[in-house]
Every structure is written in C-alpha cells, then in structure tokens.
Amino acid sequence: KILLKHGAQVNGVTADWHTPLFNACVSGSWDCVNLLLQHGASVQPESDLASPIHEAARRGHVECVNSLIAYGGNIDHKISHLGTPLYLACENQQRACVKKLLESGADVNQGKGQDSPLHAVARTASEELAWLLMDFGADTQAKNAEGKRPVELVPPESPLAQLFLEREDGDTLCRPGWSAVARSRLIATSASRNSDKMCSPGQQSFMLLV
C-alpha cells in the first residue's frame, strides 16, 4: 500500500510477463488482489503467459477469482495452452472455483481446444464435479480432438461412466430403472439441487416412493 501511494507501477511487468496482480493471484493473497484492483491494476493480462484469473482458478483461490470477476475479468478467456479458467479449475479439481465460475456465467462447454471441462473432469474421475457441470448444462456428447466423448475417458464399469450414460439417455434419472449409484447421489444432494429442472411433478412423486 505504501509503495502504491509513492507511485509504484501497479501494472509493471517482469521479463516473464508477471504483473503484481498475477503474483498476488499465485500466492492467493486476496487483500493484495483487492488493493491492486482498487488502484487500477489491469484485470486482463498483458500476455497469455501470465493470466491472473487462470492462475487463481488453477490454484483454487476462489476469493481472488471472485474479485477478478467483480472487476470485469473475462471468465471465458481462452488461452491456447491452458484453456479457459473453468477448464483449469476442473483439471485441478478446484470445486469452489468451478462453482463460482459457473454461477458467474462461465460457458460450461468451453475448455481447451476441443476438450471441454467435462472431458477434464472425466480424466480426473471426479463424480462430484461431473454432477456440478452437468447441472449447468454440460454437453455429455461433446467430442474432443480424438473424437471421444467424456464417457469414453473413464473405465466402463465406473459409477461416473454409468452417470454419463444415464445423462446421455436424456431424462433417465427421473424414470424407473435408473441406477442405485445415481439415485443415491441425487437424493444426497437434493437439498442443494432444484429437482424441478430435472423432473416433472409426476416423476418427482416416483422419486419420493423409491
């Protein structure tokens, strides 16, 4: 703060294109991030080699991500070698950042190249993140550069593979015969999920009876 008051360059760049804001996001220093933003730090990176919002999302610094978004950070900024902030958060299993980005309007299907965030989640076998992405409309049938859907990146016998197949089948989760794994997962998280978006009133009645 003292340095800023005495004219320190808030957008100064190192030889590696690191800015003070980028470094603050690396360390997760929310106070420093806010202070820099209040003094005019540029949210958009000078170079794609050092993007503050990508670094914060990768490291799980959700408060930093929130501040960057509040100051106009581009949540869908796509960097060729990194992808979007959402993709990086998924790749590194940073649930809080994934949730914040989705709630802030991030495109759930924009990832890295043809790889979607759901492809990244499939590789990590994170059922929790898969649920979160699909609740926000992730395309389970999207194909990556190798022509593979997310379900093709997980072992066929895994619960996550079963979940993908059920979602690909449309409204299967709300009909008789859906898997015990998916049913127990849905019931366990029903308090935080709007079932009206998933099932009709008649289907909800069935759920209460199973």
Residue 35: CATH number of its domain = 1.25.40.20
Residue with tokens 């990508």: 54
Looking at residue 5, its pLDDT comes to: 53
Largest CA distance in the chain: 68
Q: Let me know if residue 170 belongs to a domain.
A: no
Q: Per-residue confidence at 48, pLDDT binned at 50, 70, 90?
A: confident
- Looking at the 3D structure of the chain, how many domains does it have? 1
Domain that holds residue 67: 2-113
Q: What is the tens place of the pLDDT at every residue in 179-204?
A: 444 445 444 444 444 444 444 444 44
* 85 within a domain of the structure (yes/no): yes
Residues 56-72: pLDDT tens digits? 999 999 999 999 999 99
How far is 153 from 123, CA to CA, in rounded Å?
Answer: 6
Asked if residue 92 belongs to a domain, the reply is yes
The Cα 82–Cα 76 span in angstroms is: 12
With 0.75 as the threshold, say if the pTM is over it. Answer: yes
